[in-house]
Structure formats: C-alpha cells, structure tokens
C-alpha cells in the first residue's frame, strides 16, 4: 500500500492549523521529497491566510536540522483530526525493501465503537431550554443568547448564517418564568429564529453589560466540540474520558457540544484549565476545535430546529462531577511509573552498570553537584572538567571518559566564557585535539526557570551525543524557594528528566550558605534545602583552607629555590649543588650571585618577584566527596593557581584546617581543642554552645523549623542536652517535638 502524503493532507484543513503546524507540514513534505507546489496547493485551501510566494520563501529555509520533521508528523496530524487509517493487507517485502515512515504509521489504525445519538421521543422545545438553563445557571445569572443572524456569501456561492451579538439583559430566572408561561411559543420569549440557521446560547453567565470575555461573571464551563469524527464516536469518547459534562447537546449538524465543568477562579486559570482539557482530549483522539477556547463562546441552544434536524439535549451530568475530581482522575490514570522488577528475574543476569564518567566519582547518566563558596574557582573547575572529558584526560586526579560535553553558561557574557576556556586549555598544557567535542550554550540574558528550560534543552540536545551537560551556576535557573524541600525536590526532578531523556550525566554548580562552614559536614554546606546535597549521585564540596604564615614562607622558599636552580643549571650545568643547598632560598640566591652575570642575576630576581606576586593571590582548597555509587575517597588538597586547580602532591596542605573547623590532634597526641577549651572563659564556652545550636539548625531546618531529635542526631548529643542548649540560647521557640527561631 503506497499512500501519498498529499492524499493524507486531504484530511487536514489548513484553516484548522496553527502557524507551527502549517510550518511542520511544509518541512515534512520537503524532507520526504515532495515539492513546494504540493505545499502551496494544500495551503491555498485557507484563502483567508494564504499569500502567494510565502510558501516558497519559507521552503528555502528548510533543511539541515538534526531532528527533521518527517512524514509521521503529517500522519499524526490527520489521526488527531479523526481520520481512520485502515490496516493494509500484508505486504510481501523483498530483502532490500525499505519500510517507509508512512507505511509504519499506517499499520496501527484508530478503532473504537460508538454510542448512538437519539432524538427525544417527545419534542418539547420550551422544556429543553428550561432544563438547560436550570442545569447551567443560577436564577440571578444573566444569560446571553442569539436568535438573529446575518448572511455571508462565500467564494463558492454558498450562504452562511452567522449569529449577531444577541441579548444579554435577562436572568435565567426571568427566562425560565416566561418560558413556563409561553405555551410552547418560545419565539415570544427569545425572539423568532430562522430554521435554516438555528439559535445559540452562551454557556457562562454574564454581567449584563456585554458579551465579551471581560463580561463573563463566572468561569464555570468550557465547550468541547469536535466535528472530525462520527457523532457516535464523539459520544463514546466524551464518556470514555469521564469528562465532567454538565450538559451534552446535539447541534443539529456534525457535532456534539459538551459543556464541561471548569470552575476556574479567574480568566488566566480558565485558559490554563481549558488548555489542559483540550490536550487530554487531543491525546485521546478527540480533536477539539481550538476556537472554543474563550469563555464567552456561543454554543448551540437545545429546543431549536435547525434545517431538517433538531438541536436537543443528549444527556446531562455525565462523567465526573467537578473539574477537580476529573483532574485527579486523569492524573491517576496517566501513571508513567516504570514496571516493577522481580529480583529473581535478574539475579543470574544482573543489568550492566552505567560506565563511569569520572572514575570513582560519577557514572554516565547520573548527577553531580559541585558546591563551594564564592571565589573557589568552581566555574574554572567545571571548565577543566569539560576539557578533561573532551580530551579524555584526568580531572582532580580522576580519570574521565572521553566524549562530547555541553557547557550551559548562565552567568558570563559569551566572549568572557570563550576566553576562559582558552585560558584553562593553555594553563593545563593540553593539545587542543578535541575541542570540537565541547559545545557551549551561552544563556546570559536568555536564561529561564528550569521548568521552562529543561524541555527546550532536551529538544536542542537530542541526537547530539552528549555524555555530560554542565550547568553553571544553578541559582540562575532555580524554580521556587531554595529553602523549601518541596520546591527543590521538584527542581531537581528536572535534572532527572534531562538525564533520562538524553542519557547523559548532569553536572551542576551551587554556592555555600552564609556563615562559618567548618563545623558542618561537607554535604550540609550547600545553600538552601538539604535536598541539594541528598538528591545528586555525587557531591564534591570545595572548602577553603587557612594558609598559615609559616606555609607561605615555606612555599616562597621552595619557589625561590626552584627558580634559582633553573637559572644556575642553565649557565652552569655541572654546578655542585647539594640537597641541603637546594632547600635554602638564601643559599641558592647566593650561589646564583656567584655563578651568574650581573645582568642574568637581575633578570632572575625579577622572575622571582613576579612569581611571588602571583603566589600572593593563590588560595588553598580541600575537596571532599559524598558518593552514592563509589566508596568514599580521601580528601583532595588543591592549590587554586588561577585559572586552574593543581593537586598538592607535596603534602604541604595536609595539616591545614579551614574556617570554623575543629582543631586537629597534635603529633604528640594532645588534642588542641581540649587544651584550648581549658583556656576559654565560661562566657566563651556559652557562646560556642549557642553557635553550635545555630549552625546545626541552619543545616537541617525545613520551612523554619526542625525536630529536637534531628538536632540531637546532628550535634551528636542527647535530646535533653539539646533542650538545655535551646533554653540557654533564648532565641528559639519550642512546640511539641519541634523547635524554630523566634520572630524578631
């Protein structure tokens, strides 16, 4: 069965398409080898929007997409509009035959049984209208209805009867009262109508001042209408979907009008709910007329004759009884959870683990958080990671898998970001063999919350083959309150969607909270909710070390010795330098003075001064890991020597502490902290206890409070001790088993 796309387009009305759908048709036709004339011929059917030459202009811009629009898009558009594809007879394919996208899509026809729509056995127009009004309106609601029409002649000579503005000055109670007394003459109440046109009513109450959206006084209902399938199938689908239908009316034409509960508090929420409603309908094969979106829309009035047919009530109060009940029902059946897996089924053949992206730290397809304070060089560390992945090199001493990586730059302007990459490449000394594996997405000035960014990024990155995507930093794309566990759980779920959809690792950067960090565990230093540290598969935390004066002098001494040795060896390779000589800056400087010419000596001193000046801006850092998939590694000590971090392979930083950290034990085994506490006054010890409570509370509190038991567990003391310290502090409230900071 060889079905042409142009034949399928016969079942898609261009006037019923939005702009993007129109563009998609053109792109699909070009991709499948059709001509621009085919697109133009189809587009001409929408005489109102068709402009000569516009198709050709757009056609010339199509092509080159990594994710082209194909025939399947047109096939799906036709199916969405109710067209049924009959299953073709089995084909005898040759070994070299190719199954086209069209044939593949046509192999799954749309099927379903319908429910007949029957006219009422007794025709009572007034009672039909009264039932409609009593069902949808309160007696004091103003009702808008139309019985008068005007005629419009189309290009093919046919005449359409279109509704006028109509009436809106009477209430439902007034209309019902008059209809009960009219003796069947509804024209005496509503005005006479033309049988060839029928009559209309607005299904939402009005304010009595007009018939526009702003005149709607209560956003109770929406109209679901679809004339792209048989009436019986419309009837069945509306019921199968359990739509909260207050009133179902036959229009006397090709469709049913379902007046559906929306119950929205305002126009903005009304549109959101209608879009959701239409989306569910469309996904389930009920293609809804998009022009039904506004709340002041006209619907067909029952109890009216239209040509040779009648407009009548088919049913009422079907499906769910309210919007919320239906919404919850849809949410429950749209369960996208994966199937359960029985352990016995996989025991002998365990699934393969994802290969490591960073050996000993992170697997491919998993999430990594890099946290640290300002000026830790986190961005430079992540740029180094991009380069390590692209080049297959080490990062912080860990081997990296080689592949393509996307760096999402949210903070720097584009030029500065590019220069940083070049500076880091130069400082690392790597050959730029694989910089084509690094893509950079500069979003400064274009960033959006993660709920908006994630789907766009997934669409952009599909088929690009990234094994990692790096976001730097995430505060630019946060959604909600970073201190709320609920908000941050939802936020982190967007990273999961990126991982799952693209099959790549997601790495993101976040800052430390304010205040001293040394007393906190590494996983509790990131700002905001504890979800940040507990959600990713790996956390690397950067904490600054306090460089002592003695270490500064020691590093300057080593620097001076190294430079002196290089200059001496350059001019006197056979110079007799002992190990002791090479450890003393003064000795090496004096040796250099004896060996070098005065000019060379001065140049050497200038180099030493420059190096010392550069060293003055050098900072020291300790990286600790919290890992889910790998055993914990020993902390890594680093020098941040702008613009890269260098591992301290001499052990110079091993014994350094950082701000707020507990003192270490001396070489003789005497705890500094213990001796130090002996010299503290009672006031100092009391202040320490207050700070310890504040620090612990700042780490584990959620929504301004935490439990006493959680505080005790974190501080490593009993609950009684916690209560004593809270009482001593004076700044906390206690209610039951919870505590919180008192309002100022």
Indicate which CATH number applies to the domain containing 221: 3.30.70.1790
Q: How much is the pLDDT for 112? A: 42
* 144 and 215 inside one domain: yes
Higher pLDDT, 510 or 155: 510
Whether 668 is covered by a domain: the verdict is no
Whether 54 is covered by a domain: the verdict is yes
Whether 570 is covered by a domain: the verdict is yes
Whether 83 is covered by a domain: the verdict is yes
Mean pLDDT of 439-451: 88
Higher pLDDT, 126 or 431: 126
Cβ distance 201 to 186 under 8 Å? no
Q: How much is the pLDDT for 659? A: 59
d(CA 147, CA 304): 10
Q: Is 531 exposed, middle or buried (0-12, 13-18, 19+ CB in 10 A)?
A: buried
Higher pLDDT, 473 or 215: 215
* 395 and 435 inside one domain: yes
* 563 and 712 inside one domain: no
Residue 111: pLDDT band (50, 70, 90) is very low
Higher pLDDT, 293 or 98: 293
* 381 and 320 inside one domain: no
Mean pLDDT of 314-330: 92
Q: State the residue for tokens 């501080």.
A: 715
Higher pLDDT, 722 or 333: 722
Tell me the per-residue pLDDT of 1-18, one tens digit each, with 9 for 90 and over. 346 788 888 888 888 888
* 190 and 257 inside one domain: yes
* 536 and 566 inside one domain: no
pTM of the complete model beyond 0.75 = no
Helix segments in 109-185, DSSP class H = 125-136, 172-181
Cβ distance 485 to 424 under 8 Å? no
Whether 317 is covered by a domain: the verdict is yes
Tell me which of 333, 366, 393 is where a domain ends: 333
Half-sphere exposure of 258 (CA within 13 A, CB side): 29
Residue 344 tokens read as: 């016995």
Tell me the per-residue pLDDT of 644-697, one tens digit each, with 9 for 90 and over. 999 998 888 988 887 555 444 444 444 444 444 445 677 878 888 888 888 788
Mean pLDDT of 708-735: 86
Q: How much is the pLDDT for 514? A: 61
Higher pLDDT, 493 or 206: 206
Residue 710: pLDDT band (50, 70, 90) is confident
Cβ distance 167 to 185 under 8 Å? no
* 574 and 610 inside one domain: yes
Cβ distance 188 to 230 under 8 Å? no
Cβ distance 106 to 3 under 8 Å? yes
Q: How much is the pLDDT for 527? A: 58
d(CA 508, CA 472): 6
Q: Mind giving me the DSSP string for 696-718?
A: HHHHH-BTTBEEHHHHHHHHTS-
Residue 102: pLDDT band (50, 70, 90) is very low
Q: How much is the pLDDT for 676? A: 44
Identity of the highest mean pLDDT range in 201-215, 275-289, 453-467: 201-215
Q: Mind giving me the DSSP string for 85-131?
A: PPPPPPP---TT----HHHHHHTS------------SS--HHHHHHH
Whether 118 is covered by a domain: the verdict is no
Q: How much is the pLDDT for 427? A: 94
Residue 323 tokens read as: 């919007």
* 279 and 325 inside one domain: yes
* 521 and 579 inside one domain: no
In sequence order, the β-bridge partners of residue 372 are 511
Q: Picking from 189-193, 453-457, 684-688, which range would have the lowest pLDDT averaged per residue?
A: 684-688
Residue 526: pLDDT band (50, 70, 90) is low
Q: How much is the pLDDT for 630? A: 95
Structural domain span for residue 14: 5-106
| Total tally of structural domains belonging to the chain | 5
Which strand (E) or helix (H) includes residue 518?
Answer: none
Q: How much is the pLDDT for 245? A: 96
Mean pLDDT of 133-147: 96
d(CA 470, CA 366): 12
Mean pLDDT of 38-42: 90
Higher pLDDT, 547 or 385: 385
CATH number, domain of 700, equals 1.10.10.10
Q: Picking from 103-117, 183-197, 267-281, which range would have the lowest pLDDT averaged per residue?
A: 103-117
Whether 654 is covered by a domain: the verdict is no
Q: How much is the pLDDT for 441? A: 94
> Is it the case that residue 95 has pLDDT exceeding 60?
no
Nearest in space to 638 (alpha carbons), one of 655, 616, 653:
653
Mean pLDDT of 69-94: 63
Mean pLDDT of 591-601: 92
Whether 633 is covered by a domain: the verdict is no
Residue 271 tokens read as: 């549109």
Q: How much is the pLDDT for 466? A: 96
* 200 and 307 inside one domain: yes
The answer, yes or no, to whether the previous bond of 706 is cis (omega within 30 of 0) is no
* 285 and 232 inside one domain: yes
Q: How much is the pLDDT for 66? A: 56
Cβ distance 359 to 399 under 8 Å? yes
Contact residues for 330 (Cβ-Cβ < 8 A; gap 6+): 280
Residue 107: pLDDT band (50, 70, 90) is very low
CA 65: distance to chain centroid?
23
* 495 and 557 inside one domain: no
Mean pLDDT of 383-389: 97
Give percent of the chain with pLDDT exceeding 90.
Answer: 44
Tell me which of 61, 77, 106 is where a domain ends: 106
d(CA 521, CA 513): 13
Mean pLDDT of 309-333: 91
Rounded to the nearest integer, the mean pLDDT of the chain is: 85
Cβ distance 637 to 653 under 8 Å? yes
Tell me the per-residue pLDDT of 622-643, one tens digit each, with 9 for 90 and over. 999 999 999 999 999 999 999 9
Mean pLDDT of 306-322: 93
Tell me the per-residue pLDDT of 198-226, one tens digit each, with 9 for 90 and over. 999 999 999 999 999 999 999 999 999 98
Tell me which of 594, 616, 638 is where a domain ends: 616
> Is it the case that residue 67 has pLDDT exceeding 70?
no
């Amino acid at each position: 069965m060889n079905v042409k796309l142009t034949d399928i387009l016969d079942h898609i009305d261009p006037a019923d398409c939005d702009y993007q759908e129109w563009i998609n048709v053109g792109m699909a036709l070009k991709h499948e080898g059709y001509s621009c004339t085919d697109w133009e011929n189809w587009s001409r059917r929408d005489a109102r929007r068709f402009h000569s030459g516009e198709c050709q202009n757009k056609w010339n811009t199509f092509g080159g997409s990594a994710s082209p629009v194909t025939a399947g898009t047109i096939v799906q558009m036709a199916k969405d509009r109710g067209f049924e594809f009959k299953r073709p007879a089995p084909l005898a394919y040759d070994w070299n035959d190719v199954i086209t996208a069209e044939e593949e899509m046509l192999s799954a026809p749309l099927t379903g049984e319908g429910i007949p729509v029957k006219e009422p056995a007794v025709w009572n127009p007034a009672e039909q209208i009264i039932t409609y009004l009593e069902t949808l309106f309160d007696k004091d609601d103003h009702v808008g209805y139309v019985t008068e029409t005007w005629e419009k002649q189309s290009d093919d000579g046919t005449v359409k009867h279109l509704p006028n503005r109509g009436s809106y000055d009477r209430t439902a109670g007034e209309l019902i009262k008059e209809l009960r007394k009219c003796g069947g003459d509804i024209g005496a109440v509503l005005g006479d109508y033309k049988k060839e046109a029928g009559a209309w009513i607005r299904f939402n109450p009005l304010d009595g001042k007009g018939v526009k959206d702003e005149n709607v006084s209560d956003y109770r209902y929406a109209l679901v209408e679809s004339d792209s399938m048989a009436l019986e199938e419309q009837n069945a689908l509306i019921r199968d979907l359990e739509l909260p239908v207050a009133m179902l009316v036959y229009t006397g034409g090709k469709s049913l009008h379902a007046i559906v509960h929306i119950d929205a508090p305002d126009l903005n929420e009304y549109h959101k709910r209608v879009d959701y409603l239409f989306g569910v309908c469309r996904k389930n094969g009920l293609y809804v007329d998009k022009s039904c979106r506004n709340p002041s829309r006209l619907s067909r009035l029952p109890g009216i004759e239209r040509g040779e047919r009648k407009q009548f009530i088919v049913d009422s109060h079907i499906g769910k009884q309210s919007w919320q009940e239906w919404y919850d029902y849809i949410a429950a059946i749209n369960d996208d959870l994966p199937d359960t897996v029985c352990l016995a089924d996989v025991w002998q053949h365990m699934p393969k683990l994802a290969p490591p992206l960073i050996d000993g730290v992170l697997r491919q397809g998993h999430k990594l958080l890099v946290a640290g304070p300002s000026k830790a060089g986190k961005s430079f560390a992540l740029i180094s990671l991009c380069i390590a992945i692209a080049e297959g090199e080490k990062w912080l001493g860990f081997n990296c898998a080689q592949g393509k990586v996307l760096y999402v730059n949210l903070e720097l302007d584009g030029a500065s970001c590019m220069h940083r990459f070049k500076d880091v490449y130069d400082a690392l000394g790597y050959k730029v063999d694989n910089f084509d594996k690094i893509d950079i997405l500069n979003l400064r000035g274009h960033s959006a919350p993660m709920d908006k960014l994630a789907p766009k990024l997934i669409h952009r990155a599909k088929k690009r083959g990234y094994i990692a995507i790096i976001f730097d930093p995430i505060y630019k794309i946060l959604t909600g309150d970073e201190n709320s566990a609920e908000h941050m759980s939802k936020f982190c779920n967007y990273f999961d969607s990126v991982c799952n959809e693209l099959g790549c690792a997601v790495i993101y950067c976040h800052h430390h909270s304010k205040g001293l960090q040394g007393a906190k565990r590494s996983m509790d230093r990131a700002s905001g909710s504890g979800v940040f540290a507990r959600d990713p598969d790996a956390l690397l935390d950067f904490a600054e070390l306090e460089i002592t004066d003695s270490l500064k002098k020691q590093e300057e001494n080593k620097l001076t010795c190294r430079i002196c040795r290089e200059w001496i060896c350059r001019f006197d390779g056979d110079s007799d330098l002992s190990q002791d000589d090479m450890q003393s800056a003064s000795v090496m400087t004096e040796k250099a003075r004896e060996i070098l010419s005065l000019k060379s000596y001065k140049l050497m001193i200038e180099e030493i001064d420059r190096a010392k000046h550069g060293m003055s801006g050098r900072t020291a850092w300790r990286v600790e890991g919290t890992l889910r998939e790998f055993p914990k590694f020993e902390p890594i000590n680093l020098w941040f020597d702008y613009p890269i971090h260098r591992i301290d392979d001499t052990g110079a930083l091993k014994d350094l502490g950082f701000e707020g950290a507990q003192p270490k034990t001396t070489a003789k085994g005497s705890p500094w902290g213990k001796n130090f506490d002996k010299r503290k006054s009672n006031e100092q010890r009391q202040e320490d206890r207050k700070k310890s409570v504040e620090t612990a509370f700042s780490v584990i509190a959620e929504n301004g409070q935490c439990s006493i038991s959680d505080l005790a567990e974190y501080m490593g003391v009993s609950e009684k001790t916690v209560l004593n310290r809270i009482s001593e502090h004076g700044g906390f409230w206690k209610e039951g088993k919870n505590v919180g900071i008192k309002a100022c």
